[in-house]
Every structure is written in structure tokens, then in C-alpha cells.
């Protein structure tokens, strides 16, 4: 879910009982959340490959994937959702050379997620909520979109400042050209009680100077259920 951005970051921590189960899931997105070792966690972040293996990065938080050596080339750098149980691993200090130079790599205590796979699918209206956001973007209608997003909304795009709700809504009308359509591809929904996630690709087609330009970007959206409706609370938009 993307639009021009402005504003300041905020914190997000949402935990809810999994639908149909007694397990509680913490959904981590901004990276500012307090983590509990031994807990079931869903992390919405960017897929990165490090020397120690595949990681998921949410803000300044880096979590290593216990069962994944690396992300495929087509996934690396893009938004993902990784689920599993959070543990820690301690690595020895890196060697220091005679002139004080240090080797590259990880050291100290690391957060580790096992098995670092997508959560189980569950929709319950999440895909309809996502498509309603697409329709609001296509119509350039900030009032319509305002009814679909939470007051504490954060929009994060790599390399840019986080946007708050006001900045996001202000940018809805600033897309250059005439919007032909905004659609989703490869959408998947995941629900943990009153928290839901939709991931996939946003495909926007815009007419500029009599030419239709298509832009395709991966995204992960985190929703919260309030008053019987799904509201967008956090959006991660990538290449």
C-alpha cells in the first residue's frame, strides 16, 4: 500500500490469540517492540542475506532465520512475513588484528527465529480490506482511505522517512499522471485473532503523456480489527 510519504515513526506491538488455538502470537513490524524469548512471533520486515545466513530486518531489529541459509535472489531485499519461535544465540567476539583491525561478521547475542516460514493462511475479510485500499488509491480519494486506516498508521519505505497517517493521506492525491488501476497480485492473508497481515505485490498503472506506465512493488500490510472492520496499522513497501 503506497503513496508519497511524510511524517514520523511510532511504535507498534500487537499480540492476539491465534484463531482457533490457545497460542499467543506477537506481531513485530516497526522493530521497536519488546521481544519475548520463547514466544511465537510473526515478523514483518525485509529479507536480507548476511554472512551468518538469512535474516529479517524490521527497522533496526535484525532476526536470524535458524533454518534458512539464504533468501532466494527474487526475495532478497523485499518485504516478507516470517513466523516461528523466537530464541537467542550467542556468538564469540570477532578476532582483533595486531593493528586493532576487526573481522566483519556477527558477534554477541543474536535473535533467532525458527522456522522462519510464512504464517498459515487465513483470510476472514483481510483480502477485501486490502482491495478496498487499492480502490481508494485508484480513485485518489483520501476521505475514502481515511476510513480504512488506523489513527496510528505507519508507512515504511526503504531509504525514506516513515510516514504517519496524515502524511500518507496527504500523498494520496499527489501521484503524477492519471491512475488507470491499482491492483494486487499473489496476495496472501494471515490472521492471529484481531491482528491480520496481507502480503503480495501492488501493481499500479498510471497514464503519463499518453503512455501507460506500470509500477510493481512488493508489500506487507498489518491490520488490526476494530469495531468489526479491518484497519491498516502498518505498511511496509519495497522493490
Tens digits of residue pLDDT in 124-145: 999 999 999 999 999 999 999 9
pLDDT of residue 175: 77
pLDDT of residue 18: 37
- Which of 87, 117, 147 is a domain's end point? 117
- Which of 92, 117, 142 is a domain's end point? 117
The reply to whether 83 falls in a domain is yes
Non-local CB neighbours of 134 within 8 Å, separated by 6+ positions: 1, 182, 183, 184, 202
- Which of 86, 117, 148 is a domain's end point? 117
Residue 5 and residue 153 in contact, taking contact as beta carbons nearer than 8 Å:
no
Q: Is the pLDDT of residue 9 over 80?
A: no
Same domain for 66 and 148, yes or no, is: no
Q: Which residue range forms the structural domain that includes residue 142? A: 126-237
Q: Is the pLDDT of residue 197 over 80?
A: yes
Same domain for 71 and 144, yes or no, is: no
pLDDT of residue 159: 85
Q: What is the 3-state secondary structure of 157-200?
A: ECCCCCEEHHHHHHHHHHCCCEEEEEEEEEEEEEEECCEEEEEE
Non-local CB neighbours of 68 within 8 Å, separated by 6+ positions: 53, 54, 116
Number of domains in the chain: 2
Whole-number average pLDDT of the chain: 87
Give me 8's grid cell: 514520523
Same domain for 41 and 105, yes or no, is: yes
pLDDT in tens, 59-118: 999 999 998 999 999 999 999 999 999 999 987 666 666 666 666 556 678 999 998 999
Same domain for 161 and 224, yes or no, is: yes
pLDDT of residue 210: 87
SS3 39: coil
How many residues are listed for the chain in this entry?
Answer: 239
The reply to whether 4 falls in a domain is no
- ∠ CA 220-5-215, nearest 5°, is 60
pLDDT in tens, 32-46: 988 899 999 999 999
Percent of the chain beyond pLDDT 70?
Answer: 84
Give me 236's grid cell: 511496509
> 115: cis peptide before it, omega within 30°?
yes
Rounded to two decimals, the pTM is 0.85
Amino acid at each position: 500500500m503506497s503513496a508519497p510519504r511524510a511524517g514520523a515513526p511510532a511504535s507498534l506491538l500487537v499480540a492476539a490469540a491465534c484463531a482457533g488455538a490457545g497460542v499467543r502470537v506477537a506481531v513485530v513490524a516497526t522493530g521497536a517492540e519488546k521481544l519475548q524469548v520463547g514466544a511465537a512471533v510473526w515478523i514483518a520486515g525485509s529479507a536480507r542475506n548476511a554472512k551468518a545466513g538469512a535474516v529479517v530486518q524490521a527497522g533496526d531489529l535484525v532476526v536470524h532465520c535458524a533454518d534458512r541459509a539464504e533468501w532466494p535472489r527474487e526475495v532478497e531485499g523485499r518485504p516478507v512475513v516470517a513466523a516461528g519461535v523466537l530464541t537467542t544465540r550467542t556468538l564469540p567476539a570477532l578476532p582483533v588484528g595486531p593493528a586493532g583491525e576487526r573481522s566483519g561478521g556477527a558477534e554477541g547475542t543474536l535473535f533467532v527465529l525458527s522456522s522462519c516460514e510464512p504464517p498459515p493462511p487465513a483470510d476472514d475479510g483481510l483480502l477485501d480490506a486490502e482491495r478496498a485500499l487499492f480502490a481508494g488509491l485508484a480513485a485518489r480519494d483520501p476521505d475514502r482511505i481515511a476510513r480504512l486506516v488506523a489513527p496510528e498508521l505507519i508507512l515504511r519505505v526503504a531509504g525514506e522517512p516513515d510516514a504517519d497517517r496524515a502524511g500518507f493521506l496527504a500523498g494520496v492525491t499527489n501521484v503524477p499522471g492519471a491512475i488507470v488501476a491499482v491492483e494486487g497480485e499473489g496476495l496472501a492473508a494471515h490472521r492471529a485473532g484481531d491482528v491480520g497481515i496481507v502480503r503480495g505485490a501492488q501493481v499500479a498503472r498510471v497514464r503519463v503523456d499518453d503512455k501507460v506506465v506500470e509500477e510493481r512493488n512488493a508489500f506487507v500490510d498489518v491490520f488490526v480489527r476494530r469495531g468489526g472492520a479491518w484497519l491498516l496499522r502498518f505498511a511496509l513497501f519495497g522493490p
